[in-house]
Amino acid sequence: MTGGLLLAAGLVLVGLFTGARQRQTLRALGAEPFLPDVDRAYRRGLARRRTVTSAILVLIGALIAWYYVSGMDARMDAIPERDRSALPDGADDPRPAEDKQFARLVAVYWSVVMGLVFVAVCLAVKDFWATRTYWMARYKELRADHETKLQRDLAVHRQQRLNARVPGLKPPGDDTATDEPPV
C-alpha cells in the first residue's frame, strides 16, 4: 500500500512540476517576438503535448492514490481470505455476487488507468517523432546551406586558377588598381 501511495505521489509531483515548466515555456514563447514561424509552431506543439502528458500523469497518480485511500485494495485482498466455513451447511453465501461485481469494477478501474498510461506513452512517441522531424528539417537546411557555400567557394577557387593561367589579368582582390579613369 505504501509503495502504491509513494508511486502515486511521485506521479502527481512529476506531473505538476512538468506542467508548471510547460506553462513557463508557453509564456516565454509568447514573449519572443523574433522567432521564425516554424520554430514557434514546433515549440508550441511540444509544450502543449507535454502539458497534456503532465495532466495525464497527475490523473494517473490521483487514480492510483484513490485506489488505496478508498479501501478498494483492502477489499480486494479480503475477498479470498473470507472464512466460508462459518456459513450454515447448504446455505448460499450472498457475497460472491457482490464480490464478482466489485472485481469487475476494479478491472474496469485498472483498465482505465492502463488506458491513460497508453495515451501518455503515445503522446511521448508523438513528441519524439515531432522532435525528430523538426531537427531533420533543420539538418537538411544546414546541409543545403553548407553545400551552397562549398559550391560558391569552389567556383571562386576555379576562377582564381583560371585567372592565374592567363597572363596580364589581375587576381581578384588586387588593390593596386586606381579608381581614376585612364588619361
Banded model confidence at residue 52, pLDDT cuts 50, 70, 90: very high
Query: What is the four-CA torsion angle of 50, 53, 55, 58, rounded to 10 degrees?
Result: -120
The answer to whether 102 touches 67, Cβ cutoff 8 Å, is no
CA dist list (Å): 107 to 60, 101, 104: 15, 10, 5
**Is the entire prediction scored with pTM above 0.75?**
no
pLDDT digits (tens, 9 = 90+) for 123-137: 999 999 999 999 999
